[in-house]
Structure 1
Amino acid sequence: MDINALKDFHLIAASGGIGAASRASGKPKATLSRRLTDLEEVLGVRLIERGGQKLQITEAGERLLSRTVGAIRDIDEAVESAREDTANPSGWLRIAAPLLFSQLALGRLLAEFRRRYPHIYVEVISENRVSDLVDEHFDVAIRINPRSNSALVGRRFARDKLTLVAVPTVQMPVGDGQSAPEIPAIVMSTYSDTEIWRVQDGQCRFTPQPVMRLSSLLTVRDAVMAGAGAAMLPGSLVSQQLEKGELVCWGEADTFTELWVLHTSRRLQSPKVKVFVEFICEQYPTGWFSI
């Protein structure tokens, strides 16, 4: 059954006729008449007797009106409520985020987000794994260098450049331009043994010799600062230590770490998801991640 035809039947009945309903709503008389006829054909009964000076609603029409008036009112209220939610987003927003981003920035960002949108409540699950947004009921995910996924859409909101760092007392080896000298390295547990570290637009190359394999970038940074070796780390994570002279830069890689905010649908996304995506992108106007 066409809900618009049912609503127009209510309009005609309340107005006292098709002409009056047309004048009250601005809808063409032909449209109202056609919808009334379509509704009668679907139901197989006559709802209004035509031809008289006064509107005559049949018994079937009276029964339909009495049984559906509450439903029509509920639908109108639901539609209006949905429009209000668009203007004033509310409810729980469930976010999947990587651990390091959560530790470095997310608490501060969410505090400001809640000040702007006090009717949105936030739950964050911080894990270094790829969560399934649908199966695990997440509204959005923040991911680092995400793989292409046709089921997800989103925006890149920041980039970070990898920087090769060590303490000042560790000497940077000098290569001959052909070879990649070995360096004691602190690496992540995902490190590949065939990896070569290239910095300064590829002009300098180093062969990492892992002395530690760790699962946290913060732990890697702490080990570097304690003099255990060199490491390739996000620039934002070591910017303060570089400024203070606690670490020195051996060069920047020509690859970037990208941060994306992802969700499941571009069309008719929920208001709370829409404002969160816009908010987090606004926090990094230069496109670079900083703490």
Structure 2
Amino acid sequence: MDLVAVSDFNLVARHGGVGRAARATGRPKATLSRRVTDLEAQLGVRLFERGARLLTLTEEGRALFARTSALLTELDETAKEIASGAQTPRGHLRISAPLLFSQTAMGKLAAGFITKNPAVHLQVTTEDREVDMVEEAYDLVIRVNPKPDESLVGRIFLHDRLVVVANPALARPRTGDAVPAIVRGPMAGAETWDVITPDGLSQIAARPILSLSSFFMVRDAVRAGVGAAPLPLSFVSSEIAAGTLVAWGEVQGHRTSLWALYPTRRLLNPRVSAFLEHLKAAFPEGSPEELAGYMER
């Protein structure tokens, strides 16, 4: 594939037309048009729908633009860095992060990163779904217990675990009794929590009475004393230490790991490297207590 033709195709796609791309870049309109036509002939597909005045990407054109625009930008920035002999992080860095981590720590992390790297334009989006890094042009994603993916590499930077917590006024149920439970997500039937305590493994029967969509709401309901709930230790450790919540035990088999991931086929650019080092500096041990302390600073 002709890399120059792909680059010119990206110019036309980014500016929304051959004429606009020519005016914005000073490139001859005829050259841009010919390169796009040659690329379509080479690939055997139409990349643009050509109207009387409007030029729109076809489905194939959108796919090609999504997969090549970030790579071309990265190649251009790498070439500039090599030519200047500089490795100072600069340019755009786009990150996707899960909701709870974003709400509790990402704002402070982002502010600290930009303070140290003022030439970087950082954009963080928050959602729990697994975004497509290539299609949606993300440089880095943070995921909780991600499924194996051969197209991504990365590292664990935090560990956490679930603990069953309750208001001190709520008595732990006796054997055979069920405790009113607050759940995150869809309401289910009765369930049993296997918890690890200083005395060993025990079971707590749970009867869901309230379903909420976020850990913040679940914690507020637990504080109010209406029921118990499993919550991340990092999220409630300070309240356990203060005695405003009590821990009934760690939920067996529910440890979580936070990963920072990036595509294997991309060059690890200075922006991503710098953010990975920023995470490592913020959480050198990667423990839930460390995350709790970070949130309180």
Question: Aligning the two structures, in what range does the TM-score lie when normalised by the shorter sequence?
Answer: 0.5 to 0.7
Determine if the alignment matches structure 1 residue 236 to structure 2 residue 226.
Answer: no
**Counterpart in 2 of 1:4?**
none
Q: Does the 8 A contact of 1:195 with 1:208 survive in 2?
A: yes
**Residue 182 of structure 1, CA deviation:** 2.0
SS in structure 2 opposite 1:129? coil
Distance 1:84 1:281, change over 3 A: farther
Rounded to whole Å, the distance in 2 between the matches of 1:85 and 1:193 is 62
Distance 1:282 1:191, change over 3 A: farther
**Counterpart in 1 of 2:218?**
220
**Counterpart in 1 of 2:51?**
none
Distance 1:78 1:125, change over 3 A: closer
Distance 1:288 1:224, change over 3 A: same
For structure 1, which runs of at least 5 residues remain unmatched after alignment? 1-76
Q: How does 1:119-138 map to 2 (within 5 A)?
A: 119-138=119-138
Q: Does the 8 A contact of 1:85 with 1:271 survive in 2?
A: no
Distance 1:170 1:271, change over 3 A: same
SS in structure 2 opposite 1:203? strand
- For residues 26-70 of structure 1, what are the alpha-carbon distances to aligned partners after superposition, in whole Å with 9 as ceiling and x for unaligned? xxxxxxxxxxxxxxxxxxxxxxxxxxxxxxxxxxxxxxxxxxxxx
**Counterpart in 1 of 2:271?**
272
Rounded to whole Å, the distance in 1 between the matches of 2:205 and 2:86 is 54
Distance 1:244 1:221, change over 3 A: same
Rounded to whole Å, the distance in 2 between the matches of 1:78 and 1:132 is 23
- For residues 174-198 of structure 1, what are the alpha-carbon distances to aligned partners after superposition, in whole Å with 9 as ceiling and x for unaligned? 32xxx6x422100011576475311
**Residue 84 of structure 1, CA deviation:** 4.2
CA RMSD across the alignment? 2.4
Q: Does the 8 A contact of 1:153 with 1:266 survive in 2?
A: no
Determine if the alignment matches structure 1 residue 114 to structure 2 residue 111.
Answer: no
Distance 1:259 1:212, change over 3 A: same
**1:188 aligned residue (184, 189, 205):** 184
**Residue 98 of structure 1, CA deviation:** 0.9
Rounded to whole Å, the distance in 1 between the matches of 2:244 and 2:83 is 54
Distance 1:151 1:164, change over 3 A: same
TM-score by length of 1: 0.67
Looking at CA atoms only, which structure, 1 or 2, has the larger radius of gyration?
1
Distance 1:155 1:195, change over 3 A: farther
**1:199 aligned residue (190, 195, 202):** 195
- For residues 161-214 of structure 1, what are the alpha-carbon distances to aligned partners after superposition, in whole Å with 9 as ceiling and x for unaligned? 211000011110132xxx6x4221000115764753111166111232111111
Distance 1:121 1:79, change over 3 A: closer
Rounded to whole Å, the distance in 2 between the matches of 1:148 and 1:85 is 36
**2:247 aligned residue (231, 236, 249):** 249
Distance 1:221 1:83, change over 3 A: farther
Distance 1:194 1:132, change over 3 A: farther
Misfit runs of 4+, over 4 Å: 83-86, 190-195
Distance 1:83 1:259, change over 3 A: farther
Q: Does the 8 A contact of 1:157 with 1:287 survive in 2?
A: yes
Letter in 2 for 1:269: L
Letter in 1 for 2:181: A
**Counterpart in 1 of 2:21?**
none
TM-score by length of 2: 0.66
Letter in 2 for 1:205: Q
- The alignment-based identity, stated in percent, is 41
**Residue 156 of structure 1, CA deviation:** 0.5
Q: How does 1:100-179 map to 2 (within 5 A)?
A: 100-175=100-175
**Residue 111 of structure 1, CA deviation:** 1.2
Distance 1:117 1:78, change over 3 A: closer
For structure 2, which runs of at least 5 residues remain unmatched after alignment? 1-76
- For residues 59-107 of structure 1, what are the alpha-carbon distances to aligned partners after superposition, in whole Å with 9 as ceiling and x for unaligned? xxxxxxxxxxxxxxxxxx9845335476111111101011111110011
